[in-house]
Chain A
Amino acid sequence: MNDRGTRVLRLDALARVEGEAALHLRVAGDSVAETRLRIYEPPRFFEAFLIGRGHTEPPDITARICGICPVAYQMSACQAIENACGVTVDGPLAELRRLLYCGEWIESHTLHIYLLHAPDFLGRADVVELARDQRAVVERGLRIKQTGNAILEQLGGRPIHPVNVRVGGFYRTPGREELRPLEERLRQAREDALETVRWVATFDFPDVVCDHDLFALRDPGRYAIDSGTPAVMAAQGQGPALREFNLAEFEQHIREGQVPHSTARTSALDGRRYLTGPLARYAINGRWLHPVATEAAREAGLGDPLTGAVCQNPFRSIVVRAVEVVQAIEEALRIISRYERPPRPAVEVPPRQAAGTGATEAPRGLLYHRYALTEDGTLTEARIIPPTAQNQTAIEEDVRKAVQARLETAGPPADDEELTHVCERAIRNHDPCISCAAHFLDVTVERT
């Protein structure tokens, strides 16, 4: 390695990141000169694709943006349309939506924890290597994930790209008896999820603190999933501890810009870099975790969420995700235990000429939709701001810091292979979703 010269690392594809992304890193001497994360982002294609469609179509169309979090797209889309039409869906229908969303959190988080992220901490190349010597552990992960799948299948009508969701509610709602088998699976999943929290808490975490502003929905009284008000917790010493703004003002605060190196737009929150996702949710909503999840968080060393504990170490996001799986399972059990079949599967949502916004907490962070409709419900505008695009700048900064820290470490200098691994780990902490992408595993490293 030439320690003093300039070298360029180019990861043409990142292994174990969903979909496609590439990273360009330029190292000059002992410092990182440039970090450019390139994301091939599909929601922009969908924004154009939606124009001219009817107001009942966005939930089905946008569900196709992501195979891992279709429910998030459906829920944000439904809310935005209903908001435009002046309709509120509440009561048992809203609870059923939340249950469906819990299913997605369970399966999406568990996929990331077990199949993508844990191998980083255990020195395994991937989950296949992990499964060869810790079979029971991987089986436990698959069990939890399949419970999430079962919720999706029951409420969504099929295991991928649910078809039972519509603007105003569902096409069909289940009877109490139909949800009962899920209860048993969820109880087993709760034990598995608590084991997961204990397991990931034993991992070895680099001592890193990120200083991004944190951004999540806030839903006083409960841990935000499918509703809430946008809230910002400023990085230490950078502003008020917590502030909120109306969802209608979202695009006044979140400004998107374009950078030449990525098809995804980058976002700034009132001009500053920010992070959305599990760390932000935990910081802003931690006090409203279920008691079982609260205790799990305490035991896992995340601090006491009841006193507003904040986790700023992106490597510990795997622990926060594990706690959120417990939370989603507890919430799913609570909803099922109180469920009464609503009198009708959906409320009417007659169109009107208006614009509306919707935002929910996708597993990877806040997902915002805005639509404008004509009188007959034809869409004239569609805006989708997904969490990965919002996090892009924060991820770049984390990568820069991680590589810089390695370059400053005493001992043998890092070769390109090791730096590549450092970058991939820093990126996987955030579980970026570059959805609907084709996934090529070739990785190229270039030096100059």
Chain B
Amino acid sequence: MSGRVVVIGVGNPLRGDDGVGPATVEALRGLVPDGTVLTVSDGEPARMLDLWRGADTVVVVEVLRAQPARPGKLHTLTAADAASRTARTASTHALGLGECLALAQALGQLPQRLVVHAMEVTDVELGAPLSEAVRSALPELVDRVAASVRQAHGPNHEQ
């Protein structure tokens, strides 16, 4: 695979564990091939559609709320998986990632390849730092996102 690769870290660093997406994007600097677009977003659908316009592969990093909670647990989802989890997604915007993907699909604006790496969280208190469970799991999340990016860039970048 090759083409334009965009990584979008969705979330709000001021809301505790909701900052996972931006923290992952920050950690990826220097770890992914040149030309990879690293960006953060509040996840608002029109902005998301703008961010992935013209991209061949999009990697989204999000947080996920599950019952019972297993903070730090990682999930890799397809666009269809994520779109079906609208009631369980926690993010800082008017419509969740699930609705955003469903909207993109209805409008024929889903990127050719889209993968969501999501981490289960519980603590999204205003002003809180990343929780211990999330901090411990962050390196593995970064590894997974970096692997998706290298895979998207093609065999020369596989490790």
The answer to whether B96 touches A439, judged by C-beta atoms less than 8 angstroms apart, is yes
Q: Mark A406-448, 1 if CB is under 8 A from B, else 0.
A: 0000000000000000000000000000001111111000000
The answer to whether B12 touches A436, judged by C-beta atoms less than 8 angstroms apart, is yes
Cβ contact of A160, chosen from B45, B47, B89, B90, cutoff 8 A: B47
Please give the residue numbers on chain B whose beta carbons come within 8 Å of chain A beta carbons, in ascending order.
12, 14-15, 18, 40-42, 44-47, 49-51, 65, 86-87, 89-96, 99, 102-103, 106-108, 124, 126-127
The answer to whether A49 touches B127, judged by C-beta atoms less than 8 angstroms apart, is yes
Complex alpha-carbon distance, A439 and B126, angstroms: 13
- Report how many residues on chain A are interfacial, defined by Cβ distance under 8 Å: 35
The answer to whether A128 touches B90, judged by C-beta atoms less than 8 angstroms apart, is no
Complex alpha-carbon distance, A67 and B94, angstroms: 10
Complex alpha-carbon distance, A132 and B102, angstroms: 10
Segment of A50-58, A92-100, A135-143, A384-392 in the binding face: A135-143
The answer to whether A111 touches B106, judged by C-beta atoms less than 8 angstroms apart, is no
Q: Is A174 an interface residue (CB 8 A)?
A: no
Please give the residue numbers on chain A whose beta carbons come within 8 Å of chain B beta carbons, in ascending order.
16-19, 42, 45, 49, 64, 67-68, 107, 111, 115-116, 126-128, 131-132, 135, 138-139, 142, 145-146, 149, 159-160, 436-442
A/B interface sample: 18 pairs, CB < 8 A: A19-B94, A67-B12, A67-B44, A67-B92, A68-B44, A111-B94, A126-B95, A128-B103, A128-B106, A135-B108, A146-B46, A159-B47, A160-B42, A436-B12, A437-B15, A438-B91, A441-B89, A441-B96
The answer to whether B44 touches A440, judged by C-beta atoms less than 8 angstroms apart, is no
The answer to whether B49 touches A149, judged by C-beta atoms less than 8 angstroms apart, is no
The answer to whether A107 touches B90, judged by C-beta atoms less than 8 angstroms apart, is no
B47 surroundings in chain A (CB, below 8 A) = 149, 159-160
A17 surroundings in chain B (CB, below 8 A) = 94
Other than the given A437-B15, A438-B91, 5 more pairs (CB < 8 A) read A42-B126, A127-B95, A138-B106, A439-B94, A440-B87
Complex alpha-carbon distance, A440 and B15, angstroms: 14
Complex alpha-carbon distance, A45 and B50, angstroms: 31
A438 surroundings in chain B (CB, below 8 A) = 12, 15, 18, 90-92, 124
